[in-house]
Chains A and B, each alone.
Chain A
Amino acid sequence: MQFSSSIGRAKVQVCSREAERANIYPGMTFTEARAICSHLVWREYDDKFYKSAQKKLARELIAASPRVSTRESGLFYIDAEGFNRLGGENKLCRDVLKLASRYGFVDGHIGLADSAFAARVASRSKTKRWYIVTPDCDTVFLSPLSIDFLPVEEEAKGNLKELGIRTIGQFTEVPISSYIGRFDNSVLHAYELACGRDNTQPALPVQEKQYQCTIDIGSATESLRDTLFIFKTMLERLTRDLQIDGLCADELTVCFFNDNDKFDERTIKLIRSSSNSKFLLDVLRLSLESKQLTREFTAINLAVSRFSKEYFEQTKATIAQSDNSNFSREELLLSGDDELDDSSEPVLLLLQRFITRLGEEALVKPVLNDQYLPELAGVWIPVVGFGQQSNSSSNFSSCTPVNEVFVNHAVLKTTKHKTRKDCLMPGLVLKRHMPAMPVFVQFKEKSESSSEVDKYTPFRPAAITYRGHWYHVNQITTPEKISGMWWEKPVRKSYYVALIEKKPEMAMLSRAGVKSGIRSILPALMTVLLVYDHQERGWFVEGVFD
């Protein structure tokens, strides 16, 4: 998918046959595709995930042939030599496809040839699941095929076609000396491949190192201190191994066992890869504090489930004037400690702590959203992994950018009005009640406003209850009536801003008034957001202006 500002507007670039069967086609937006296929899920592309799946399958293919190598995503080179006495090459192809389908890869194709390039081309056969090229006939097999199969740039292919070279056979008929100087190295390399000279050979698989530790204590433990001591020992060993190999941990997986029963498994994502045992121990401690173990354990397994190569970065160095005013001196400051740089060490450590203990969506920043309803006119976007983490992107998708022309117009309109002493940021701050507080409302009697009927607020509230107290509505605004969101949950509301004053004569009726001696923290004068919900047919105080 091609990602634009929001996921809803992202367009499908390519799709599988299964997707086409569900009527999803390239060019559709994500919203359109989801309207057709309700169980469509957005997932961020994860290269590591694909690579690990490929490695896992390669390990299984060893059962068919001892030499297996992996290349680009979805491509395997398997040694097919010496299978004549083991049922032949056809049996090998059948076994490999059967093995792959056992792991869910049911649409695999196999090409078998003397050279890796010819085998790769043969695997693209549309009619056969496996295609075996006759021994010593790679060039014969390749010669009638189009030059589109050659691994060269589109521009070079176009040039070749303009010269009248359309098949690989025509390409190899011309001596290589004719290409030297006229085409780049990729064409020369393709020439070698087309002639059946390919050095690519499947190799014996390299056993991938796994970074994990298991400690069987032998007795039940539940003390945090003891657990941390065990973790410290394990981490020291793991980080030493990682450092020797020049690696950093990206993700940790901890399993707790009680005898043979695995009762807790937690995966801890690190926002920045690290091989610092102290930091990793801190992260594990926070994880244990935020989500405590349900029972005592007898063994722990700690694994570095994801790791990456360690990289080194030059610390920022700035020259700053010394604070001491007596003499001018310049100081070299390493790393911008004072700046809130998302990639700086203190910020990352801080964010990691918050993610581990409070979750990814705890630390947020406000962003405008193009919506009418006050509660949707802005959204909280997680600070961590803005556009990187899959969870945060789901939140970001709900945010529609606001046309800044309107925003600037609104700000200008309000800030130039400086009539009073301090023209602070305009408007009052609303503090919401979660959920909205239902209230009793007493309406104004018609006789009170003799001739002048409230044509602006025909159902003007005269008094409301708020937390057990009766308040007289001193002033109330003309309602802002908003309806919409019919595509999700319909909303029809009338928003009033009301200035309410305590009603002393009605205090006897109030619940709190009966309980004398309890000091109320409610003030005499309040400004509240009073809402009439037409859907619910009720009055609510959605928040107070503070």
Chain B
Amino acid sequence: MVGAVTVANLKKELEHLFPGKWLSGGEVGRSLKTGVEQIDFGRSAGLLKRRVTEWVGASSSGKTTVLRSICANWCATGLNVVYIDTFDRLLASDWCFLNNAKDEKQGRFWVLRSNIDSTIKRDYLKDSLWACEQLIRSRVFDVVILDLGERNIITSNFYARLQRALERSKATLIVLKDDDSSAQSASWGTNSRLSFNFSKPVHFELGLTGHSDDIATIMPTINGSILRDGMAENIEVSVASYVQNRLFTHPQVPDRSTSKTRARA
């Protein structure tokens, strides 16, 4: 028995050194590949299914940008992703490309919004946590993303509930938090922690004139850090510049022309 455990550990170590050769299909199936090399073949070896992963960074750190790219990869491979936007902060235009209705094999990307109305007293965080548990229990989605914003407080009791729900499902839960604390370990109940932040060098795309003051886009470098089993690893991801789709569109002008047969008053 002890020998079997040692061999399994050895296999895991070798897998870190030579990815994709030592683990069997079943072991590989336990993790969810992201399509980002540094995450898939680094310390974390992807995101573990049926586990909670913390995805943290300060309020402007590039964490959601990286996550969106990964969601695009997941949807392209047929996985279903749901994003719980607790504080209605997402913009629909940023996420439209993830849903391609024409491709039947493509996974769905759905968003659960709180539809915050200041006139109605409701505990949006409580509703989000309830929805998160329901989404995991439904066994319909492969990835559930819970965006807690700056309210990054989940009790250990609720973490335990989510973990219990995850064990009976196939989903991976990603808890997205606005948090810049350089914690040396993941929160209680979480399997791994990925933290991100913007850093220099900052890349620019100049405008049509080519003048140094005519900047079209700004793209800082996104640095990341993977923390798992007490071991940390730094990563760097970069994002391509992007010209907004709306620049190619025109606003909808309503049809004000009235019927010629309209009777005069």
Q: Which of A127-135, A140-148, A424-432 binds B?
A: A424-432
Asked whether, in the complex, the Cβ of B242 is within 8 Å of the Cβ of A414, the reply is yes
Is there a chain B Cβ closer than 8 Å to A340's Cβ? yes
What 1/0 flags go to A58-82 for Cβ under 8 Å of B? 0000000000000000000000000
> How many angstroms between the C-alpha atoms of A409 and B61 in the bound complex?
29
Which of B96, B113, B200, B252 has the most chain A CB within a 10 Å cutoff?
B252
Summed over the interface, the residue pairs from A and B with CB atoms below 8 Å come to a total of 301
What 1/0 flags go to B248-259 for Cβ under 8 Å of A? 111111111111
Q: Which residue of B lies closest to A488 (CB)?
A: B254
Asked whether, in the complex, the Cβ of A414 is within 8 Å of the Cβ of B213, the reply is no
Asked whether, in the complex, the Cβ of A415 is within 8 Å of the Cβ of B251, the reply is no
Which of A357, A423, A429 has the most chain B CB within a 10 Å cutoff?
A429
Residues from chain A with a CB closer than 8 A to the CB of B249 are 370-372, 377, 402-403, 406
Residues from chain B with a CB closer than 8 A to the CB of A36 are 258-259, 262
Asked whether, in the complex, the Cβ of A357 is within 8 Å of the Cβ of B130, the reply is yes
Q: Which of B6-14, B46-54, B83-91, B225-233 binds A?
A: B83-91
Residues from chain A with a CB closer than 8 A to the CB of B25 are 325
> How many angstroms between the C-alpha atoms of A124 and B195 in the bound complex?
77
Asked whether, in the complex, the Cβ of B62 is within 8 Å of the Cβ of A546, the reply is yes
Is there a chain B Cβ closer than 8 Å to A327's Cβ? no
User: How many Å from the CB of A463 to the closest CB on chain B?
Assistant: 17
Is there a chain B Cβ closer than 8 Å to A288's Cβ? no
Q: For residues 474 through 490 of chain A, which have their beta carbon under 8 Å from a beta carbon of chain B?
A: 474-478, 480, 484-485, 487
Contact of A346 among B116, B139, B204, B248 (CB under 8 A): B139
> How many angstroms between the C-alpha atoms of A496 and B29 in the bound complex?
45
Is there a chain B Cβ closer than 8 Å to A379's Cβ? yes
Contact of A429 among B94, B216, B253 (CB under 8 A): B94
CB within 8 Å for A424 and B238 given contacts A477-B216, A499-B202, A546-B60: yes
User: How many Å from the CB of A466 to the closest CB on chain B?
Assistant: 10
Asked whether, in the complex, the Cβ of A350 is within 8 Å of the Cβ of B198, the reply is no
Asked whether, in the complex, the Cβ of A422 is within 8 Å of the Cβ of B115, the reply is no
Residues from chain A with a CB closer than 8 A to the CB of B109 are 365-366
User: How many Å from the CB of B199 to the closest CB on chain A?
Assistant: 7
Is there a chain B Cβ closer than 8 Å to A528's Cβ? yes
Asked whether, in the complex, the Cβ of B96 is within 8 Å of the Cβ of A368, the reply is yes
Residues from chain B with a CB closer than 8 A to the CB of A32 are 255, 257-259
Q: For residues 221 through 258 of chain A, which have their beta carbon under 8 Å from a beta carbon of chain B?
A: none
> How many angstroms between the C-alpha atoms of A403 and B111 in the bound complex?
24
Asked whether, in the complex, the Cβ of B204 is within 8 Å of the Cβ of A487, the reply is no
Q: For residues 93 through 110 of chain B, which have their beta carbon under 8 Å from a beta carbon of chain A?
A: 93-99, 107-110
CB within 8 Å for A413 and B243 given contacts A337-B139, A364-B113: yes
> How many angstroms between the C-alpha atoms of A68 and B261 in the bound complex?
43
Q: Which residue of A lies closest to B38 (CB)?
A: A422
Asked whether, in the complex, the Cβ of B110 is within 8 Å of the Cβ of A371, the reply is no
Asked whether, in the complex, the Cβ of A365 is within 8 Å of the Cβ of B89, the reply is no
What 1/0 flags go to B67-93 for Cβ under 8 Å of A? 011001000000010000001111111
User: How many Å from the CB of A542 to the closest CB on chain B?
Assistant: 10
Is there a chain B Cβ closer than 8 Å to A45's Cβ? no
Which of B57, B178, B179, B248 has the most chain A CB within a 10 Å cutoff?
B248
> How many angstroms between the C-alpha atoms of A379 and B37 in the bound complex?
32
Q: Which residue of A lies closest to B67 (CB)?
A: A429
Residues from chain A with a CB closer than 8 A to the CB of B257 are 32
Contact of A499 among B114, B178, B220 (CB under 8 A): B220
Asked whether, in the complex, the Cβ of B127 is within 8 Å of the Cβ of A358, the reply is yes
> How many angstroms between the C-alpha atoms of A337 and B170 in the bound complex?
11
Asked whether, in the complex, the Cβ of B218 is within 8 Å of the Cβ of A31, the reply is no
Which of A31, A325, A364, A485 has the most chain B CB within a 10 Å cutoff?
A364
User: How many Å from the CB of A406 to the closest CB on chain B?
Assistant: 4
Asked whether, in the complex, the Cβ of B237 is within 8 Å of the Cβ of A350, the reply is no
Asked whether, in the complex, the Cβ of A368 is within 8 Å of the Cβ of B213, the reply is no
CB within 8 Å for A428 and B239 given contacts A367-B99, A400-B252, A526-B59: yes
Is there a chain B Cβ closer than 8 Å to A472's Cβ? no
Q: For residues 177 through 207 of chain B, which have their beta carbon under 8 Å from a beta carbon of chain A?
A: 178-180, 197-200, 202, 204, 207
Asked whether, in the complex, the Cβ of B150 is within 8 Å of the Cβ of A521, the reply is yes
Is there a chain A Cβ closer than 8 Å to B131's Cβ? yes
> How many angstroms between the C-alpha atoms of A349 and B135 in the bound complex?
11
Is there a chain A Cβ closer than 8 Å to B157's Cβ? no
User: How many Å from the CB of B250 to the closest CB on chain A?
Assistant: 7
Is there a chain A Cβ closer than 8 Å to B24's Cβ? yes
Number of interface residues of A (CB under 8 A): 101
Is there a chain B Cβ closer than 8 Å to A439's Cβ? no
User: How many Å from the CB of B61 to the closest CB on chain A?
Assistant: 6
Residues from chain A with a CB closer than 8 A to the CB of B150 are 521
User: How many Å from the CB of A108 to the closest CB on chain B?
Assistant: 28
Is there a chain A Cβ closer than 8 Å to B215's Cβ? yes
Residues from chain A with a CB closer than 8 A to the CB of B32 are none
CB within 8 Å for A378 and B261 given contacts A456-B214, A499-B202: no
Asked whether, in the complex, the Cβ of B96 is within 8 Å of the Cβ of A425, the reply is no
> How many angstroms between the C-alpha atoms of A528 and B220 in the bound complex?
12
Residues from chain B with a CB closer than 8 A to the CB of A454 are 213
Q: Which residue of A lies closest to B99 (CB)?
A: A365
CB within 8 Å for A427 and B220 given contacts A366-B99, A370-B249: no
Q: Which residue of A lies closest to B89 (CB)?
A: A431
CB within 8 Å for A424 and B237 given contacts A364-B111, A366-B111: yes
Is there a chain B Cβ closer than 8 Å to A29's Cβ? yes
User: How many Å from the CB of A375 to the closest CB on chain B?
Assistant: 7
Is there a chain A Cβ closer than 8 Å to B211's Cβ? yes
Is there a chain B Cβ closer than 8 Å to A418's Cβ? yes
Asked whether, in the complex, the Cβ of A546 is within 8 Å of the Cβ of B63, the reply is yes
> How many angstroms between the C-alpha atoms of A484 and B57 in the bound complex?
36
User: How many Å from the CB of B231 to the closest CB on chain A?
Assistant: 22
Contact of B207 among A366, A400, A429, A478 (CB under 8 A): A478
Asked whether, in the complex, the Cβ of A487 is within 8 Å of the Cβ of B198, the reply is no
User: How many Å from the CB of B135 to the closest CB on chain A?
Assistant: 7
Asked whether, in the complex, the Cβ of B94 is within 8 Å of the Cβ of A378, the reply is yes
> How many angstroms between the C-alpha atoms of A32 and B257 in the bound complex?
7
Is there a chain B Cβ closer than 8 Å to A504's Cβ? no
Chosen A-B contacts, 18 in total, with CB atoms closer than 8 Å, are: A36-B262, A346-B138, A346-B139, A353-B134, A354-B134, A357-B127, A365-B109, A366-B93, A377-B92, A377-B244, A380-B92, A422-B37, A424-B65, A427-B240, A428-B239, A456-B214, A521-B150, A546-B64
Having A369-B93, A422-B69, one finds 18 other A-B pairs with CB under 8 Å, namely A25-B261, A36-B258, A340-B108, A362-B131, A377-B249, A402-B245, A406-B249, A424-B239, A429-B90, A429-B91, A432-B89, A432-B90, A480-B247, A499-B218, A523-B60, A527-B60, A527-B198, A527-B218
**What 5 A-B pairs are tightest by C-beta distance, nearest first?**
A427-B242, A378-B92, A378-B93, A426-B242, A424-B69
